[in-house]
Amino acid sequence: MSFFSSLPFEWQIGWRYTRAGRAGRRNGFISFISLISVVGIALGVAALIIVLSVMNGFQTVVRDRMLAAIPHIEVYESSGTGLADWQALAREAQQEPLVKAAAPFVSSPSLLARGEAMPGVLVRGVLPEAEQHITDLAAKMKADGVLDQLQPGAWRIVIGVDLARALDVKVGETVNVITPGIQMTPAGGMPTMRKFTVAGIFNVGHFDYDNTLVMMHLDDAARLYRTGGPQGIQLRLSDVHEARATGFRLADMLGPKVIVRDWTRTKAQWYDAVQIEKRMMGIILTLIVAVAAFNLVSTLVMTVTDKRADIAILRTLGASPRSVMAIFVVQGATAGIIGTLSGVGLGLLVAFNVDVIVPFIERLLGVAFLPGNLYMVTQMPSDPQWADIGPITAISLILAFLATLYPSWRASRVNPAEALRYE
């Protein structure tokens, strides 16, 4: 006895209708329409998985490059007078299990001047021996010996590659750091200015930091900006995805004496834009899946019309309206399941091989989709996540099931006498 012969007759007939189409021109046309519906669902699901995977890939690459230069969480002293004992605050913060390391910092917007060029920058005063445990950028510069060049009183800085290019400055040359504070002189108020030597040039791969970030020793920054010490501490977490929740817990733990800001809030504009873009793209592509799923309505309506005599015979043999409805639900749901699973398989196949498929298409067409002189990412990234694939699969199956309800209900309402009158 085969597996299908052991199933309820509604399942057997529904599966048989799904495979129908070899007998007669009309049945062949219906099967062709049914095939188009299945292919439409498969392509819609595959497109949704591929697009969201690529968006996840870009998000991951940009986020990782961004977090290579900035801490996961910053803790500021709320009064703005500076921290008298940053080590005590660091020990208190490290009671949170996800906090791996802590380091003091001073941060201030400034101008960097050389010749006629005077771009705006963000100066960060860091403690080299502690900073290497906070960001990947600092760890790399520590390994290269660049971070060791930042000594207290040496008045040296490290700048990004794009900023160095804009200023036309090389390692060993000098630039002027102009602070936002005003210094009173006999000639009136004058901005505070200090000459620094460029000790190193870094390349994060993220334009915002390669073009604006300047690092100097913590003591030099405290003297330059007259902060009296560190403005706060920066923290590295073992799980970057838990930054927001950890930030809330730290705020409750440390109390009102500090302000806690995680990277999703310091970079809220980018973070929110990515989330909204991904959500909107998901909605748009889900509508494509919905259109393909509801093509099953027309397929089932045509099948019901074609099978009116069969339905009447089943009714006269004792089949209930519920059984007739179940037959066509099985037919439509089977098409939805086949289309959805095929789409998931195709989508994952492409998503996991984007790094091979895209270069092949570029060589075939002789084009570059991500030119290196325009984009900081030169290869198409992809990061399929089950958090996306699961909902996509569920939504597609639900839409396909909903599309079967009305035609199946119409089939259950067929009057046997009317259907067999002209047979």
Which of 140-144, 276-280, 349-353 has maximum average pLDDT? 349-353
Reading the block at residue 400, the tokens are 């396909």
Per-residue pLDDT, 22: 44
Looking at the fold, whether 217 and 158 belong to one and the same domain comes out as: yes
Residue 112 has pLDDT above 70, yes or no: yes
Residues 127 and 156 in one domain: yes
Nearest residue to 245 via CA among 237, 234, 233: 237
162 and 50 share one domain: no
226 and 354 share one domain: no
Q: pLDDT band for position 23 (50/70/90)? A: very low
Considering only residues 206 and 138, tell me which one the structure prediction assigns the higher pLDDT.
138
pLDDT digits (tens, 9 = 90+) for 172-216: 999 999 988 766 666 555 678 889 999 999 988 777 888 889 999
Q: Are residues 38 and 139 in the same domain?
A: no
- Given a cut of 80, is residue 156 above it in pLDDT? yes
Q: What is the pTM of this model?
A: 0.74
- Inform me whether the pLDDT recorded for 345 exceeds 90: yes
- pLDDT of 2 strictly over 90: no
Q: Give residue 21's pLDDT band: very low, low, confident or very high (50, 70, 90).
A: very low
State the burial class of residue 48 (Cβ atoms within 10 Å of its Cβ: 0-12, 13-18, 19+).
Answer: buried
| Three-state DSSP state, 56 | helix
3 state DSSP class of 196: strand
Q: Would you place residue 372 in the very low, low, confident or very high pLDDT band (cuts 50, 70, 90)?
A: low
pLDDT value, residue 24: 46
What is the predicted pLDDT for the residue at 97?
93
Structural domain for 397, as ranges: 4-64+271-420
Q: What is the pLDDT of residue 91?
A: 92
End-to-end Cα spacing for the chain: 34
Encode pLDDT of 88-98 as tens digits.
999 999 999 99
Rounded to an integer, the average pLDDT of 39-65 is 88
Co-location of 48 and 155 in the same domain: no
Is residue 221 located within the same domain as residue 108?
yes
236: β partners = 101
**Greater confidence, 233 or 83?**
233
Is the pLDDT confidence value at 258 over 50? Answer: yes
Query: Do residues 158 and 248 share a domain?
Result: yes
Q: What is the pLDDT of residue 291?
A: 81
- pLDDT tier for residue 298 given thresholds of 50, 70 and 90: confident
Mean predicted lDDT score pLDDT of the chain: 83
Tell me, yes or no, whether 21 and 164 share the same domain.
no
What mean pLDDT is predicted for residues 286-312? 78
**Count of domains in the chain?**
2
Q: How far apart are CA 334 and CA 345, in angstroms?
A: 16
Same-domain check for residues 232 and 214: yes
pLDDT of residue 249: 93
